[in-house]
Structure 1
Amino acid sequence: MDKDKIDKKDHILDVAEKVFSDQGFDGASTRSISGEAGVNMAMLNYYFGSKEGLFLAVFDRKINSFKDLLKDLGNDEQLSAWDKVEAYIDLYTQRVVNNNCFQKMLYQEMSMSKRGELSEKLSCSLMENVNEFHKILKYGIDRGEFNEDVDMELVTATIYGTKNFIINAPQLTSMMLGYDILDEKNLEEKFKPRIKAYQKALLKAYLVKENNKTQNTYPVYVK
């Protein structure tokens, strides 16, 4: 595929991501997406086949790029298990906060059981990334760096769940935090460093064996 076609396809995906996020899967139409993207329906159908195909293409573009980063991180033998967890927290926070439009769209669809087949495809793709993170945790356990009784599933839920609560309940969490969580400057300067510091301190205390911890190494966030 030549560069012009790749650029056009990426442009359609950018527009589709925004429309799906704003209107949900049911509310969005391929006709409105093609209109906003400035392409005809024939081109959209040629690339993606259907609305579900377009939705999955938006999702796959995001999730596959993150999957590649996780594999590279997991295969880096120069990093300790804890270094990998810290890097994962940084990568995850950076990507999900900067792509909140995509995250909103994703969890809207995964929370609705009436589209079982679509939700299953999304969940299966996400599980591939979850499994890459679990490999990092198991690496730490096998090396004796992490505690043997680590609950890998709940560690993952802690990372995902904290962000989801903050981002997906913006009115409540803005009142709780004392600033508008939807404001880009607040996200960049206040929320991202705060959630990174919190999750690193929390998970280091839970994961790392006492004899492997060093004093004064927990990240500190100053309000």
Structure 2
Amino acid sequence: MERTKENKKENILNVAERIFSELGYEGTSTRYLASEAGVNMAMLNYYFGSKNGVLKAVLERKIKGMRQMLLVVKEQEISSWQKLTTAFEIYVNRLTLNDSFYRIIHREISLVSRTELSDFVVENVLANIGILREIIEEGIQNKSFKAVDVEMTISSMLGTIYYILNSKFVSSELLNLDLLDPEVMEKQLRPRIKNYMKENLEAFLLNKEELV
């Protein structure tokens, strides 16, 4: 019985993730969510309480899923540089794979007025960012990284991705790429961001002996 309940919840979340990604939060109704998930409104409300509750559950799954991937990288017995570049690749891959969904996350963390949902998102996003901080601090401690401003370094890394994904029309003109084309996002933009940031981090962060 519990297994069946979990399967139904997972199905609703899978459907909701797709619909929120396609239509955005405002463009999605609970009635449409229920219809697409093959459940009635009563069941949707029973599991999640409201559309906001569905979104919160989807966000939690997405953000915590990334956290697990980052934690695996952090605990590997590899260099701090390998950890950092691998962790950044995870961010780039996840955000560009479903950028419209991550724009919802960015919207919540950009709100001027705080809500229960925005507080929840901020808390969980900061937990993920905290893993990046620990990796950079580890590199500073073992002397493979310079003693940089850790928080500003992270802001620069993530800010590059968020700016491009949240201003597609401007970025398309700036980069001379059609960022509305999923194939361009995957084959051109994603590798370009990774290469650019790796080159910048090498110059800014790595101690010279690490480059030898």
Same fold by TM-score, threshold 0.5 exceeded? yes
Contact 1:16–1:58 (CA<8 Å) still a contact in 2?
Answer: yes
Structure 2 equivalent of residue 62 of structure 1 = 62
Q: Which runs of 4+ in 1 moved over 6 A?
A: none
Structure 1 equivalent of residue 201 of structure 2 = 203
The 2-side partners of 1:109 and 1:20 are apart by 14
Structure 2 equivalent of residue 219 of structure 1 = none
Pair 1:180-2:195 in alignment:
no
Structure 1 residue corresponding to 2:156, chosen from 152, 155, 158: 158
The 1-side partners of 2:137 and 2:186 are apart by 31
Matches within 5 A, 1:1-223: 1-2=2-3, 5-21=5-21, 24-76=24-76, 78-148=77-147, 150-214=148-212
Q: Secondary structure at the match of 1:114?
A: coil
The 1-side partners of 2:113 and 2:144 are apart by 43
Contact 2:63–2:124 (CA<8 Å) still a contact in 1?
Answer: yes
The 2-side partners of 1:161 and 1:213 are apart by 26
The 2-side partners of 1:27 and 1:114 are apart by 21
Contact 1:140–1:146 (CA<8 Å) still a contact in 2?
Answer: yes
The 1-side partners of 2:132 and 2:151 are apart by 10
The 1-side partners of 2:130 and 2:109 are apart by 18
Shift in Å at residue 13 of structure 1?
Answer: 1.6
Q: Which amino acid aligns with 2:176?
A: G
Q: Structure 1: 5+ residue runs without aligned partners?
A: 215-223
Shift in Å at residue 163 of structure 1?
Answer: 1.0
Contact 1:24–1:108 (CA<8 Å) still a contact in 2?
Answer: no
Contact 1:159–1:199 (CA<8 Å) still a contact in 2?
Answer: yes
Shift in Å at residue 44 of structure 1?
Answer: 1.1
**Structural RMSD (CA):** 1.8
Q: Which amino acid aligns with 1:145?
A: S
Shift in Å at residue 121 of structure 1?
Answer: 1.1
Contact 1:89–1:200 (CA<8 Å) still a contact in 2?
Answer: no
The 2-side partners of 1:6 and 1:188 are apart by 33
Shift in Å at residue 5 of structure 1?
Answer: 4.2
Q: Structure 2: 5+ residue runs without aligned partners?
A: none
Q: Deviations over 1:152-203 (max 9, x none)?
A: 1111111211111111111111112222112111011111111000011111
The 2-side partners of 1:88 and 1:21 are apart by 24
Shift in Å at residue 113 of structure 1?
Answer: 2.7
Percent of residue pairs identical = 37
Does 32-41 or 202-211 show the bigger shift? 32-41
Q: Which amino acid aligns with 1:58?
A: V
Q: How many residues align?
A: 211
Q: Secondary structure at the match of 1:193?
A: helix
Q: Which amino acid aligns with 1:151?
A: D
The 2-side partners of 1:117 and 1:28 are apart by 20
Contact 1:113–1:119 (CA<8 Å) still a contact in 2?
Answer: no
Q: Deviations over 1:76-135 (max 9, x none)?
A: 1x2000010111121111111102132122122332333432211110010100111111
Shift in Å at residue 21 of structure 1?
Answer: 4.2
Contact 1:70–1:132 (CA<8 Å) still a contact in 2?
Answer: yes
Does 51-60 or 17-26 show the bigger shift? 17-26
The 2-side partners of 1:89 and 1:112 are apart by 25
The 2-side partners of 1:72 and 1:108 are apart by 28
Contact 2:21–2:98 (CA<8 Å) still a contact in 1?
Answer: no
Q: Secondary structure at the match of 1:92?
A: helix
